[in-house]
Amino acid sequence: MSEEPTSFSADSYFATQPAPPTLEHDIAGVKEFVARQAKEGRNVVLVTSGGTTVPLELNVVRFLDNFSAGTRGATSAEYFLKAGYAVIFMHRQFSLQPFSRHYSHSTNPFLDFLEIEGSKSGTATPPAISVTHAMRKDLVEVLTAYKSVHAAGTLHTLTFVTVNDYLWLLRALSQELSVLKRKAMYYLAAAVSDFFLPRQKMSEHKIQSGKGSLHIEMDQVPKILKPMVDVWTRGDGFIVSFKLETDEQLLVPKARAALERYGHQVVVGNDLHRRKFEVVFVSRKPLPPLPPGVTVNPIGEETTSSFAESWLRIDIPTSPIVHTNQVKEIEEDIVAELVRRHERWIQGR
């Protein structure tokens, strides 16, 4: 299977890798959603969430995956909706979603808090079902928010599975959202593979085990943030990327390097094990005002390498998390901070 790695730019990637079959349909839905939100004057945020897969075969039996459950994205989407944003929620199929995430089968199986009311024997009508008293308050809260978002039509959901689906969708959606100019925010919380197997190098059928060990050489996924900033969103979007590391020492340097390289607005850094109670916002410092009479910034290049970091921390839960709506979620504060910064971006500050 091993062939020379190819170096893909964003352009050569899209010229050689096939678009997902549902792309046109997805774009049509987003176009309609964006036009309606624009008419109603809302800010729109694109939230990406969950992990991408990398298929190893064309008739896919095996694939590379990652740990992301989509908690960050699904939780943040709820807080954006609460803040008055319309949300395009682009997520890995079957990962967590806003509202239903509170009742995921593993953390809070909903069958456990339903009760069957006494049935009258001899009648054909099925018995009524009720919610356990202790769960009622939380459920009413979630259900009320869910129903009002549906009534307002402010949540639009799309799914991806592979890294290829993700890249095609992200490009198309960024282009659609660019009509909103500064009122669009991009919140890139999905865990996207850095490596992939181009279609041209994939085996058609299930890889056979006859040859013993398996050697696969993957190509690097093209860095798409630069064209996203400069071309797809035409420099207007407020773009927030996430950086995950397991070595905490790398977080800030890598976040700074990403800002330097791609020129977007914010990197939110998080450590794998501390991500639920600690993140760091990294951004460029605003340029200092020019002294009277000076037309060229005297600091020049220096200013592009000066960054501001601010850490956001919430208390670490002391007991195992019992899921209720009363538990503080760090996404509430992440979203509040980004909404503030986006407002300043809209005002051109």
Exactly one of 189, 252, 267, 339 binds ligand PAZ (CB under 6 A); that residue is 189
Under rule CB under 6 A, which residues in 53-72 are in contact with ligand PAZ?
68-72
The residue (of 57 and 278) whose beta carbon lies closer to ligand PAZ is 278
Residue 135: is it exposed, middle or buried by C-beta count within 10 angstroms (0-12/13-18/19+)? middle
Beta strand segments in the chain, E: 44-49, 54-55, 63-64, 86-92, 114-116, 129-131, 155-160, 184-188, 195-196, 219-220, 238-245, 266-271, 278-284, 307-313
Residue 283 token pair: 């951004």
Contacts with ligand PAZ, 251-290, as mask; x by CB under 6 A: -------------------x----x---------------
3-state secondary structure of 199: helix
Contacts with ligand PAZ, 191-220, as mask; x by CB under 6 A: xx----------------------------
Residue 286 token pair: 């605003």
What's the rounded Cα separation, in Å, for the pair 165 and 35?
24
What's the rounded Cα separation, in Å, for the pair 187 and 77?
9
The residue (of 49 and 154) whose beta carbon lies closer to ligand PAZ is 49
The residue (of 69 and 259) whose beta carbon lies closer to ligand PAZ is 69
What's the rounded Cα separation, in Å, for the pair 163 and 171?
12
The residue (of 37 and 52) whose beta carbon lies closer to ligand PAZ is 52
The residue (of 236 and 245) whose beta carbon lies closer to ligand PAZ is 245
Calculate the alpha carbon distances from 338 to 1, 250, 298, 342 in Å. 45, 23, 30, 6
Under rule CB under 6 A, which residues in 290-329 are in contact with ligand PAZ?
none
Under rule CB under 6 A, which residues in 223-252 are in contact with ligand PAZ?
242-244
Under rule CB under 6 A, which residues in 67-96 are in contact with ligand PAZ?
68-72
State the residues that interact with ligand PAZ by CB under 6 A.
Answer: 68-72, 189, 191-192, 242-244, 270, 275
